[in-house]
Structure 1
């Protein structure tokens, strides 16, 4: 199969562009187009999964509909060669939600390969194993996770569903298990499942040579009411950061062979902040030197962290996300820009990033998009 990116420029399903490059940015930035898949919540059949293209010194921002007539494809990823796309329908039907995958057939259009039930309501996260032969879906309202094998022809086959049990202190959000993310480590030997409802990160062994490849190794307890949402490994795989949605904290862990040791706990917001908290996403910079996190609620901010001379993280910037409800964000592969997606203000805005200091600077680039929920970088 050929890659998606070179062909999608010609797809004419639906496109819009917005944002004129500032003169000084045009002069200092090489000609480059960055491409992202965008998952969204849908209000009509014309919405769905988008291709978002960003060219700082050419057309600015442009979107194209790749998959329409789909319900709430809130999470979307591609394989390493970008010739297969995986997404989901964040819905609750008889057998949970649905996952599906598509191939790129040479002209930029996506062709359905297979579709499978998740056996848990409201799937909200997908993870490919490092070998790309297994896919895991985390089901938020179902409180479980489901793993599929991927055949040589790309067909998804259900292998195992693991149920979580329990609750925690926030009775409105933690009345039951809510699996919010599933993340493989670099070697593909362990999977971390963050459960917002039970205040736990469950560490599963992954053994593809067994009929049921996932088995529980241990349970990492968070503080009561934390609500762990997303986890991210450092580029070198030696560190894990868990973002706590309900308290706006970051837990930093050293990591080795499925073992997590807490080293630091950080605040996204100032101590005197008053208002609703809704931490959403955490990511490392491509070089691993900086950590970025978004907070929704009444803050609508992006926070930037780096390590000081003692090896401890410290917050070096807190900046407006440029919109309302920054559900997700991502950095370009070279680390020069950060794109922030806002669910409530229906837009994506661009920040220029200083690759040396890690600091963010707003730009004039902005594009309207219906309920953008997730950004996946293709290049």
Structure 2
């Protein structure tokens, strides 16, 4: 079922990493009645912005750059969604690839892929103070991609009680407790969960307080996890492929999101979005379909807050494609609308 909307729009930011064109952060518009996309303006031209997010009130935008390994905070003008720089900090690490924020907006977390560390940053009114750094060691089965630790995401749970680090290089999910002062974190017990060797956990999301899902880049799978919300411990219940069984080409699974009772995952190589239904009784995934993204190398994607549209950032084809989502079946249909953006990395609705 596809809902009918009167004409209104939603704005979103796009992170771009190119230095061959004018990269940085773009502001764009999604027409909710048709799915048409419009590029409004470049709101910041810093190079190689790899990831962006906002606080829970959409008052501040945070962005990381892989060209200088810094994090930036911006105040968001609520009238036209332009942004003004508030603060910047060196990250004491290499290749920042993920940012997340607790629901109370006290703590911000950054994963540094190449320096094998994650940062805890205290934030208030856009001002940032680096409070702690956790450094990881180890390796795993893939000698090229897993020669050392490579944290690829760091994610608080929905209640800002625990924090989870997906380490692509060691096949581990590290677990931390957010301390009672809500300004620091400590290793939980047990401290980590080991996944299948060579899987390469990349991004982790929560469906509710009982179930979480991690997309594994190197073997193109999703691990379904049960979560003990008292201890933070996780148990792997299922491993399911993100590509069809008859596909034999190269693929790197990338991004994962949930909406309603569905899970969506992007495939770079197969160039598709895999769609799954969540089993309400056990949290396991039921495969529905793979949908062509109409682009190349879908690094990330975003579902609009209403759940009607999915926007896909296709890194190699330099475009963002728009799909309408069936609320009942979870299936996706291409709207025919796409937006030309140089090397899009990440999308954040505002």
How would you bin the TM-score normalised by the shorter chain? Answer: over 0.9
SS in 2 for 1:175: coil
Q: Distance in 2 between matches of 1:343 and 1:201?
A: 27
**TM-score, normalised to structure 1's length?**
0.86
SS in 2 for 1:327: strand
Kindly indicate whether residue 335 of structure 2 is the aligned counterpart of residue 363 of structure 1.
yes
Per-residue deviation, 1:114: 0.8
**TM-score, normalised to structure 2's length?**
0.93
Per-residue deviation, 1:186: 1.4
Q: Which residue of 2 aligns with 1:278?
A: 252
Q: Which residue of 2 aligns with 1:133?
A: 106
Q: Which residue of 2 aligns with 1:77?
A: 53
Per-residue deviation, 1:212: 4.8
Q: Distance in 2 between matches of 1:309 and 1:187?
A: 20
Q: Which residue of 2 aligns with 1:121?
A: 94
Q: Distance in 1 between matches of 2:346 and 2:43?
A: 15
Residue ranges of structure 2 left out of the alignment (5+ in a row): none
- Segment drifting more, 309-318 vs 350-359: 309-318
Q: Which residue of 2 aligns with 1:142?
A: 115
Q: Distance in 1 between matches of 2:280 and 2:65?
A: 45
The alignment of Structure 1 onto Structure 2 pairs a total of residues equal to 344
Residue ranges of structure 1 left out of the alignment (5+ in a row): 1-24
* 8 Å Cα contact 2:171-2:197 kept in structure 1: yes
Q: Distance in 2 between matches of 1:55 and 1:210?
A: 39
> C-alpha offsets along residues 50-95 of structure 1, whole Å, 9 cap, x if unaligned?
122110447921123454331211111111222211001123x5xx
Q: For the structure 1 residues 212 and 54, does the alpha-carbon distance in structure 2 shift closer, same or farther, using more than 3 Å as the test?
A: closer
Per-residue deviation, 1:211: 7.5
Per-residue deviation, 1:262: 1.5
Q: Which residue of 2 aligns with 1:7?
A: none
Kindly indicate whether residue 272 of structure 2 is the aligned counterpart of residue 313 of structure 1.
no
* 8 Å Cα contact 1:182-1:191 kept in structure 2: yes
Q: Distance in 2 between matches of 1:125 and 1:39?
A: 12
Q: Distance in 1 between matches of 2:130 and 2:329?
A: 45
> C-alpha offsets along residues 232-284 of structure 1, whole Å, 9 cap, x if unaligned?
001x3221101000000100011122121222111111223211120001110
SS in 1 for 2:57: coil
* Runs of 4+ with >6 A deviation: none
SS in 1 for 2:66: strand
Greater C-alpha Rg: 1
- Segment drifting more, 116-125 vs 310-319: 310-319
Of the three residues 224, 237, 240, the one matched with 2:212 is: 240
